[in-house]
Every structure is written in C-alpha cells, then in structure tokens.
Chains A and B, each alone.
Chain A
Amino acid sequence: MTAISVRNLSIDLGYGLAKKRILGDVGFSVEAGESFGLVGESGSGKSTILRCIARLLTSWEGDIELEGRSIKDMPFAEYCRMVQMVFQDPYGSLHPRQSIRTALQEPLRIHRMDRQLQRMEQALTDVGLNPDFLSRYPHELSGGQRQRVAIARALILEPRILLLDEPTSALDVSVQAEVLNLLAGLRAKRNLTYLFVSHDLAVIDHMCERLAVMQHGRVVEIMARDVLATGQAQDPYARELIQASLEYDQAV
C-alpha cells in the first residue's frame, strides 16, 4: 500500500512578474513501512515539502495523498493520528514553559485518549528515557534528551507516518548516532513509515531504502540506497552530490 503519494506539488510565491516558483511539480511516493529520504542542498525545498504534507503550509497546488486519501479532505483529528512530525531544532520544538508532562499530555487530552499516565510513561520508556522525566522542564534536559522527548511526543498519538525534518542535524555526533539508532529501532518495532529530510547523505544511507535528490525546488532523481555506494546516478547533479559526499567522508 502507498503511505505517502505526492503528485505535481508546486508552490509559487508572489504575483505577476514577481512570481517565483519555490517548488515545481514534485512527485514521489512512499510505500507503507518504507523509509524514504529527501536530500539536497540548503534551500532546495526539502523542508517545504515536509511542511506541505504536515499541513503547516496550505497554499500549494497538486495532490498529496496519505494512504490513498487526499489530506485536504481528511478530518483533522484523524489526520493528526495518522501523521506526526519531528522538528529539526530540539531547543525550539518544546514549549519552554511547559513540563514534559504537559507536552505529552496535551495531545492525549485533545484526542480524549484513555490511560493517559500509562501512555506517557510508556512513550518515555520507548525513547529510552526514565518516566521520572515527566515532571522536568525542557531547560533541564540536554539536546539529545529533548529530541527524544520530541520523538516521544510525536509517537504518543500512535501515528503510522512520521515526518522527520533533519532530526539529528542540531545534535552532537555521538548523540546523533544514538537518536538515529532509536529511530531505526522504533520503525522496526512499530512498522512506521518515515519521510526523512537531511542534507547528510551518510545519515540517509543509514536510515532510508530509497531517496530523492532535490535541487532548486525540483526532484532531479529518485534512486535506491545502493546507488549511494556505487555513485552511478543518472542525473549529473545527483552524481556530483554523491561524489562530493564520498570525498568528504574520505577526507575526514
């Protein structure tokens, strides 16, 4: 079954002569249980696509379907329980004046779910944190711990699709590996579908089965993970990007 299907997604900003195309006819699809990567340089539109799917941006054209249903027709409550998002900056994605308990309880209250305490404790345990963390505030946690709380918050509504907007790029290298392993483990356990945005090809290589390379708001090539190792991409830009990443890895 297709979990995410994006067809002809375009965004234009401005009117008349000042009209500028931010995203042009983007299309890809992600199977259920798959992990799909979006890579590209800064400003290539990866996060914008994620924000369109997350319904945080609304002025786009084209079709976005989740499990075969257009996100524009889906009731919002049902949508929330299907898709959640993990943001890039763990320092900005948790409300600075809300305790972890409030952060985790809010979605449960909104959706009137049962066994709230049990769910909250389970969510923290699942991301490798002690249930004692419930009474803490974000400023009492490290960056890695915050990102784990953000993942717990995203998973507490038991979504089937997780949108990940560079979830590790703000973290230390050692913590990055922990969070990536945690995400990989959670996906295997819960059969989640990931749409993973990153500019780090090594991360994508570790996390995703397929990926799309983006440049200037367009998808230039969709390829399988194996291509990253061989470097035999069809598109010249994609080839250049993979080559540059390989050379960087060797230099480091």
Chain B
Amino acid sequence: MTASFLSMQDVAMPGSRSNRNSAFHRLLAVIRELLGNPSSGFGFIVISILLLTALVAPLIAPYDPNVINLGQTLQPPSATHWFGTDELGRDILSRIIYGTRISLTIITIVSVIVGPVGLVVGTTAGYFGGWYDTIMMRVTDIFLSFPSLILSLAFVAALGAGLENAIIAIGLTAWPPIARLARAETLTFRGADYISASRMQGASSLRIIVKSIMPMCLPSVLVRITLSMATVILTAAGLGFLGLGAQPPLPEWGAMIATGRRYMLDNWWLVAFPGGAILLVSLAFNLLGDGLRDALDPKQR
C-alpha cells in the first residue's frame, strides 16, 4: 500500500512540475510577444503601472485623498499639487492614485463574474444544442439588445446606488458577448474527432466540456474579457458620473468628473486629469486585448 502510494507520488511529481514549467514558459513567451509590438507593449506597460500604483497607493500618494483643506480649494497644478486641488481642497493626484484601486476592484470583480458565467453559458449551449441552446441564446439576445449603460442603470435603480451594486449591474450586462463567443467557438469543434474519441472513452458531458472544450475557448474568452475591460471602466465611470456608482467621498474617476463638472469652465484640471486617466487605462486595455489576440491565437502560429 505504502509502496504503491510512493510510486504514485513519484509519478505525479515530474508531470506537474513539467506542466507548471511549460505554463510559465508559455506566459513568458506571451509577455515577450506583447512587448515586441509597440502598441500592445504600451498597453501592457500601462496596465502594469496601473497594477503597481494600486498596490503601493499609500506609499506614492503625496496626500490623503479624503482630507478636506478649505484653505487650498481649486488650486491650479503646481509643484505642491501636481494635478491641482478640487473644490474641497483635496489633492487630485492622490485621488487619481487611490482611484486606480477602485477601478481595478471593479474590473477584477466584473471579470471574475463575467468570465465563468459567459464561458459556462456559451460552452453548454454550444455543446448540448437543441432547446437548451435556443433558450440560452434568446436570453443572451435580450441582454444584448439593451445598451449596456441603460441596462446597468436599470439594475442600479432596482438595487440601489453604490459601488457594489454598480459592479453587479455591470457584470450582469457584460457576460452576453462572452457567452456568444464561447458558443461560436464550441460549435466549431464540438464535432471534432478528439471530442468523439473522448466520448467513446466514456467521458461524461461535464468532463468533455470542462476538460476538452473550455481549454480551447479560454484564449479567445480571455482576449474578449480584456477588450471588454475598457467598456467596463467606461460604464463604471458613466455610472459614477450619473451619481449611481461610487458614492462620495470615494475617489472614483467618473464621480470626480461629475463633481468637477460644475467648476469645469474655470478650473479645467478638475475634469482633465480623471478624464485622461480613464482614457489612458481604457486605451491600454484595448491595445493589450488586441495584442493578446495576436499572441494567444493558435492559428497565427
């Protein structure tokens, strides 16, 4: 018994190590490819900086983002306040730096909701077909036929304003394109011989979907999620701007623009810097998504 257990361990170890190694090598190869192309390299670097900024926000932010200083309101950009101050005297640079945390939280939670939901709905619909496919795709159609901001507005109105509800609302509106994509991918290889072979070996439908179909859909779904992150940021900013997303005093970029709007004509820095941050980050996600599509597409190799 012990001997067989030991030999099992011996068997398991090299396999898992070589798997992890090859996955790591593949990741390195993908990063190298991303950096090789100027536009996706730009996207990758901006996203990396964004991640770093969010991680070390308290260390690099020059001021507390929420401390009100009424003696220093509406200061233009200067050496002490690089991006100026807002109507309550808060440092805009610090607020933008802390805002990266909110944006990243939104993006992460939305992706975590949207990726698996879209993948499961799409692959099962594509694999099983028939009436299940019809029902799933009609539900997807209904979600797709609303403009995403309007639909998230409706959800937020139903659930109540706030960051958590905004995230849920965005998640509910962002999964249909991914489900569509996963279904289309599944349809292209559900009749492939390797699926037939796996069925003949007695694999259950669940096993085939999880082990054979999902790994094939994953690259394109990842690319689609990355591309939709730009939309997610914009929708979150839009909800924040409308006062339905993050509530004051949270330094959310869209909400910052909304409050700065009143002073915009005389104090351009109130909206220009958060707006620039939104532009930069959504552009970076778009470029990164395009680059990932090239790097992960097996047909391009």
Contacts and interface: CB of A to CB of B under 8 A. Distances in A.
Contacts of A55: 200
Contacts of B200: 54-56, 80, 83-85
A192 to B, nearest CB: 16
A89 B191 CA distance: 13
Question: For the complex, would chain B's binding face be called helix, strand, loop or mixed by DSSP majority?
Answer: helix
Contact of B11 (A84, A95, A96, A116): A116
A93 B197 contact: yes
B215 interface: yes
A54 B202 contact: no
Contacts, number: 64
Interface string B32-72: 00000000000000000000000000000000000000000
Interface residues on B, range: 20 to 34
A106 B212 CA distance: 11
Contacts of A106: 198, 201, 203, 211
A56 B215 CA distance: 23
Residue among B7, B192, B201 facing the most chain A CB atoms (10 A cut-off):
B201
A94 B11 contact: no
A28 B58 CA distance: 79
Nearest to B204: A110
B193 A110 contact: no
B57 to A, nearest CB: 38
Contacts of A157: 201
A219 B207 CA distance: 37
Interface in B164-207: 192-194, 196-203, 207
A95 B201 contact: no
Contacts of A80: 200-202
B144 interface: no
A85 B197 contact: yes
Contact of A93 (B7, B194, B203, B298): B194
Nearest to B203: A110
**A-B complex: 6 closest residue pairs judged by Cβ atoms:** A80-B202, A93-B193, A107-B201, A87-B193, A95-B194, A92-B193
Interface of A: 54-56, 76-77, 80, 83-85, 87-89, 92-99, 101, 106-107, 110-111, 116-117, 135, 150, 153-154, 157
14 contacts: A55-B200, A80-B201, A84-B200, A92-B193, A95-B198, A96-B216, A97-B216, A98-B211, A101-B15, A107-B201, A107-B202, A110-B201, A117-B7, A150-B197
